Structure 1
Amino acid sequence: MMNFDSTSNMNKEAMDSMLTTVSAMTKGFQQITAEATEFSKKSYEDGSAAVEKLVSAKSLDKAIEIQTDFAKNSYETFVAQATKMSELYADLAKEAYKPFEAAAAKATA
């Protein structure tokens, strides 16, 4: 009877850990999706604004200046966004692993 109770208890703990992990992953993926959507929307708006400026440019020098500024800003924005996304993925992995840290510590003790 002791084996059944301890096995049942271990299964319950494993299921609780798994559900906590799934919940953390769902929350993390929602954050990542919202961030990616916002970045895409802003990138589209910035690109549209740059095209409008290019169309209204009066000289080749002004058009080159507009394009250069747009390229520089796009690159800086992309690097910042990539850093932010990598942080979100790292946080997701940490949160998803947390429930299993206790189980791993208990198994090695």
Structure 2
Amino acid sequence: MIKIEDLQLFGREHFASAVATAAEMGGNAQAIAAAVGDYAKKSMEDGNAMVTELATVKSMEKAIEIQGDYARMAYENFMAEGQKIGGLYADLARQASKPFESVMAKMTSAA
């Protein structure tokens, strides 16, 4: 039979774990926001630099070369940042599931 004290202790432990996880998730969310902001800033700067360089071009071949180089660089940066931000989201998901892991472990060991 389950005692009331055991339920109260279980609830307190779960609440403390959830509060700690929420604090960690806030830090992860800030890291994601910073990474997205940095990527957006860098993308704008790179695009501006490409347009500035494109404005000085005198031949069509050179313009196509500059656009091709920019497209390649933008794609590579997008893929790299996507992997970085995806990893941050994976960390966030792991942090979000931690309280449930401990609860499930206690529930399965009690059964």
Deviation at 1:95, TM superposition (A): 1.9
Aligned AA (1:74): A
TM-score (norm 2): 0.90
1:66 aligns with 2:66: yes
TM-score (norm 1): 0.92
1:53 maps to what in 2?
53
Separation (CA, whole Å) in 2 of partners of 1:97 and 1:21:
9
Aligned length: 108
Using the aligned pairs only, state the percent identity: 42
Q: Is the 1:57–1:63 Cα contact (8 Å) retained in structure 2?
A: yes
Aligned AA (1:87): G
Separation (CA, whole Å) in 2 of partners of 1:7 and 1:105:
16
Gaps of 5+ in 2: none
Q: Deviations over 1:33-53 (max 9, x none)?
A: 000000000000000000000
Separation (CA, whole Å) in 1 of partners of 2:14 and 2:94:
18
Displaced runs of 4 or more, over 4 A: none
Separation (CA, whole Å) in 2 of partners of 1:15 and 1:51:
53
Deviation at 1:103, TM superposition (A): 2.1
Q: Deviations over 1:61-103 (max 9, x none)?
A: 1111100000010011111111111111111111222233222
Aligned AA (2:38): E
